[in-house]
Amino acid sequence: MPIGDAADLSPRALATLAEVDLIACEDTRRIAPLLAANSIRTRTVSYFEHNEEVRTPELIERMRRGERVALVTDAGTPAISDPGFRLVRAALDAGIEVGAIPGPSAVVAALSIAGLPTDRFTFEGFLSAKAGARRNELKALERERRTMVFFEAARRLGGTLSDMAEIFGASREGVVAREIGKTYEEVVRGRLGELAARFTATPARGEITLVVAGAGREQGAGAGDLVGASALTTDMLCAAGLSLKQASSVIAHLRGRSRREIYQAALASRRTRQDESQND
């Protein structure tokens, strides 16, 4: 299904939706306007994360009787970080033919406009919502050399970027693609440290696809970029919304020093300013 613009739905997809006996979709209410706009009267049934286990046998039985079922998700390609895998596997196990109607994918769309290497890439989907688990997942990817693609909830974007800046390095390149294909599409490119500061200070909205350069890719940064980045201070990053610990990690990476050293220096600087303020 379209990830933004309804015009992205191909003629073949529309024809398929009109020809099948049943459409299994995440939300029957969301697909209804699109079907109505194209005069498609095919019956629909809900098929989403929380009813997959129960609904799958029902759909398999329908197909055993000869019905043709089209599986769609709210946006993008079924089974790609969306419901679908369980039904596809069950259909294959039952000897039922499964075919794909190629269509929009936020993963490929974001990669195509990110400006990062696409000869090899890895799709990591959604990271854990829990901070500790998320950091462990990122540490496991610290030396991944392929371009990485993630999905992330807008409310967690600032925290995720901050963790990435600390673990991958603040100078690593990243791209935040927001609301791809929609009216308010926005693509923000920059170093992870810069992106973390921006989206911590000003939380994002909408659907987020995050593309991050693989390990070693940041070595191509120009001298101007590194000089500008190294001019950052912990105060500047804290003012943008990062914690002192996160800001210290970013600065430490940029300057090639230990995080503890930067953190202690920042604390000492704060105490000095407080003492001077009290003396005044």
How much is the pLDDT for 223? 33
* pLDDT value of residue 249: 81
Same domain, 185 and 234: yes
Round to whole Å and give the CA distance between 16 and 37. Answer: 15
* Whether residue 243 is found in the same domain as residue 156: yes
Q: What is the pLDDT of residues 71-112, one digit of tens each?
A: 999 988 998 888 899 999 999 999 999 999 998 999 999 999
Percent of the chain with pLDDT over 90: 63
The amino acid that residue 277 corresponds to is S
pLDDT of residue 247: 80
Q: Is residue 100 part of a domain?
A: no
What span, in angstroms and rounded, lies between the C-alpha atoms of 165 and 161? 6
Average pLDDT, integer, range 165-177: 93
If pLDDT is split at 50, 70 and 90, which confidence band does 279 have?
Answer: low
Residues 122 and 258 in one domain: yes
Q: What is the CATH number of the domain that holds 17?
A: 3.40.1010.10
Whether residues 121 and 85 share a domain: the answer is no
Beta bridge partners of 122: 148
193-212 as b/e: b if 16+ CB within 10 A: bbbbbbbbeeebeebbbbbb
Amino acid at 2: P
132 with 239, same domain?
yes
For residue 221, the model assigns a pLDDT of 39
- The CATH number that applies at residue 129 is 3.30.950.10
Q: Which amino acid is present at 132?
A: G
Q: Are residues 255 and 126 in the same domain?
A: yes
pLDDT above 50: residue 227: no
For residues 18 and 64, membership in a common domain is answered with yes
Among 58, 93, 128, give the residue marking a domain's end.
93
Q: How many CB atoms lie within 10 A of CB 49?
A: 10
Rounded to an integer, the average pLDDT of 1-9 is 89
Sheet hosting strand 121-126, strand order edge to edge: 121-126, 147-152, 208-212, 173-178, 186-191
**What is the chain's mean pLDDT, rounded?**
87
First to last CA, the chain: 64
Q: Which domain holds residue 236?
A: 117-268
Q: Is the pLDDT assigned to residue 248 strictly greater than 90?
A: no
Residues 88 and 121 reside in one and the same domain: no
Question: Closest Cα to residue 13, out of 55, 79, 72, 58?
Answer: 72
Quote the CA–CA distance of 84 and 93 in Å, as a whole number.
14
Give the residue, 264 or 58, on which the prediction is more confident: 58
Read off the tokens for 149: 């693609």
Least confident span in 145-159, 184-198, 219-233? 219-233
